[in-house]
Amino acid sequence: MKKSALVLACSLAVAAVNAQPVFTFGKNSVSKTEFIRAFDKNPVNTPDRQKALKEYLDLYINFRLKVQAAYDAGLDKDQTQLYELQNFRRQIAENILNEKANLKELVKEAFIRSQKDIHLAHVFVEVPAKGDTAAAYKKIQEAYKALQQGKSFEAVAAEYSSDPGTIQSKGDLGFITVFTLPYEFENIAYNIKPNTYSAPVRTSLGYHIFKNKAERTPLGTRRVAQILIAFPPNGSEAEKTAAKRKADSVYNLIAKGQKFEDLVAQVSNDMSSNYSAGQLPEFGIGTYNPVFEQQAFALTNPNDITQPFATTYGYHILKLLEAKPIASDTKDDIFMAQLQEKVSKDGRLLQARKQMLDKQLSILKYKPAAYNQADLFAFTDSNVQKTTSKAVRTINEKSVLFSFGPKAILAGDWLKFVRAVNSTPNEFSGKDYPTLMKDYVRVTADEFYRDNLEKYSVEFDRQVKEFKDANLLFGIMDKQVWSKANEDTSGLKTYFSQNKAKYKWAPSADAIIVTCTSATIAEEVAQKLQGNLANWRTITDAYGTQVTADSGRYELSQLPIPDRTNFTAGLITAPLSNQSDGSTSFNLLVKIYRDADQRSFEDARGMVISDYQQVLEERWLAELKKKYPVKVNQAVVKTLK
């Protein structure tokens, strides 16, 4: 007991120290915790952390003073500031909500599933909208019993399925992988062991029995180009034969050396890919017709070409552009980023978000109100097509349906939602009112959660405040220092006059700096400029964007040249290559100034502005420290580490 009390006392003591202010400014204070957090966001590469913390103190004091000045100036109410903050807030809210919906776990799950392909089959009994569920349930149970009695899966699929496509294929869906099927189907498929089948399951489409016929190492993705010789969907044998002859003829031309790309433009009937030399988007299994995929994935080396083969669309000839294996390591950042993007756009994240919101309802203090549901739905039917509404028995627009803490959701709000659903087809369309009400609770919960996320996420609150302060700092610095210095021509000239000695030319030259997109062009331009200085602009302009040139006075140390000796007027310096973009630069020296020389105000203006900004900032900080007196708590500073 004494040990527990001691631990508690120590914990309280540490918390008290962390809560103590490192410094105060005016009526405001900054705690040790806040200060260290700010420091850790701007790490300094030094072994002496304590020394770095103390050096950072002055910088952070100045930062807080400037931000406070921005608040006092009302910049936080500026429309541009509010707009940028709202945009940032929306972006961060998405990240926080995805995190709470376990986006990382969904990406991990997708990675694990990507490591195998499953040959899937199913028995499918459709349940039409408002159809007979009992009859469909009875039929799927009969199919399940037949399987248990030893009847082959293919025979059962053909006999009991209600979908013509499933009957024709005897239930065979081919190989699938992650993202091939809707998430509810994928979850079932990846939880069936090889060569076994599931019990009957209900999905949004009807009843299914799924079978895992086999598994294999994933085939990855392919990029191919195609030539399509099409025939009508219900084409006659004569039309199909004619298409085959043409496809064989095209294949023979390719075999004799004619370019695949040229033939695409001449004969292919696939209008969607003709303008890209027949190239199709990168795809994995389960994307196209099984016959098409079988041919595409049989190609192994780039530029391999299939013989003509038929699908329901016509005869295809494929050329392999790239075969990409599936990454087998989560350390493959590019692959993991691609998975995350797919998960973010997939129904699985939406489903996870819905589940997360359902769990959050108690945190949001969701409370359903007492009202007559039949009256509400009668009120909805009576008013949904009208811009104004009339009360129906116990319900009017101000009737409370439910609330989140102090925020009440009214029947009028619900009416607007239903009108919006009916006016534009969307994910809520076609649902009955009780189901739609459940969706509406989630929609409003999501809106309320986002609007008040600071209350539910400490990290979100911090990020928003940090962005807001940083934006306010930029705004107040522009107002008090940067723009002020640029616009104060009189002050700049006075400062220049008082500090002329700071603004002198080192040894310099009037020069033309020429940059070319290649070394070959640079050599050609240099030859044309030799002895033809007066026409330098005409010569360089003739090369368009391949050559840029500018003239001015430059200090010799600033010129892009490999050798800084023997500077003479008329010299064209040796070319200097830029490894990053392959460009080449050289200089044409017009006049040399070998001695130091006083700069004019216009020549020095950029440097004067920079220095004058520093002067204005120092003056401003001195004023701020008078307005918000700063007191540093040295006792707390000594504990910084």
Q: 34-66: per-residue pLDDT in tens?
A: 999 999 987 777 788 888 999 999 999 999 999
- The rounded average pLDDT for each run of 10 residues, N- to C-terminus, in the chain (641 residues) is 39 50 95 94 82 93 97 96 95 90 94 96 89 89 97 96 92 93 93 96 92 95 96 91 96 95 94 92 90 94 96 95 94 93 90 89 94 94 82 91 96 94 83 92 94 92 95 96 94 95 94 94 94 91 95 90 81 89 92 93 95 96 96 94 85
Which distant-in-sequence residues (6+ apart) come within 8 Å of 278 by Cβ?
225, 226, 227, 260, 261, 264, 268, 270, 319
pTM of the model: 0.71
Predicted local distance difference test score (pLDDT) of residue 14: 42
CB–CB of 346/183 below 8 Å?
yes
- Per DSSP, helices labelled H in 347-488 are 347-360, 373-383, 411-423, 433-451, 453-456, 458-477, 483-487
If we measure between CA atoms, which residue out of 32, 47, 65 comes closest to residue 637?
32
Condensed to tens digits (0 to 9), the pLDDT of residues 315-361 reads: 999 999 999 999 999 999 999 999 999 998 888 998 898 889 888 89
The Cα 624–Cα 597 span in angstroms is: 39
The Cα 314–Cα 170 span in angstroms is: 23
Condensed to tens digits (0 to 9), the pLDDT of residues 433-479 reads: 999 999 999 999 999 999 999 999 999 999 999 999 999 999 999 99
Predicted local distance difference test score (pLDDT) of residue 5: 40
Helix axes 237-255, 260-267, angle to 10 degrees: 150
302: left (phi over 0), alpha (psi -120 to 50) or beta: beta
For residue 285, count other CB atoms closer than 10 A to its CB: 23
CB–CB of 295/318 below 8 Å?
yes
524's tokens: 């050609």
Predicted local distance difference test score (pLDDT) of residue 229: 96
The Cα 204–Cα 117 span in angstroms is: 24
The Cα 31–Cα 17 span in angstroms is: 9
Condensed to tens digits (0 to 9), the pLDDT of residues 231-252 reads: 998 889 999 999 999 999 999 9
CB–CB of 230/313 below 8 Å?
yes
**Do the domains at 116-216 and 221-324 have one common CATH topology?**
yes
Condensed to tens digits (0 to 9), the pLDDT of residues 284-296 reads: 988 888 899 999 9
Cα distances (Å, whole numbers) of residue 338 to 100, 179, 335, 594: 20, 12, 5, 58
579's tokens: 């490894």
Residue 101 Cα to chain centre, angstroms: 17
For residue 404, count other CB atoms closer than 10 A to its CB: 21
Predicted local distance difference test score (pLDDT) of residue 384: 85
Predicted local distance difference test score (pLDDT) of residue 18: 52
116-216: CATH topology is Chitinase A; domain 3 (3.10.50)
For residue 397, count other CB atoms closer than 10 A to its CB: 17
Predicted local distance difference test score (pLDDT) of residue 315: 97
Which CATH class, in words, describes the domain spanning 221-324?
alpha beta
Condensed to tens digits (0 to 9), the pLDDT of residues 404-439 reads: 999 999 999 999 999 999 888 777 888 889 999 999
- The H or E element spanning position 608 is helix 601-627
Phi and psi of 278, rounded to 5°? Answer: 85, 0
- Per DSSP, helices labelled H in 101-177 are 103-114, 133-148, 153-160, 164-169
Predicted local distance difference test score (pLDDT) of residue 7: 37
Domain boundaries in the chain? 116-216, 221-324, 364-454, 505-598
Which distant-in-sequence residues (6+ apart) come within 8 Å of 111 by Cβ?
330, 336, 339
In the CATH scheme, what is the code of domain 505-598? 3.10.50
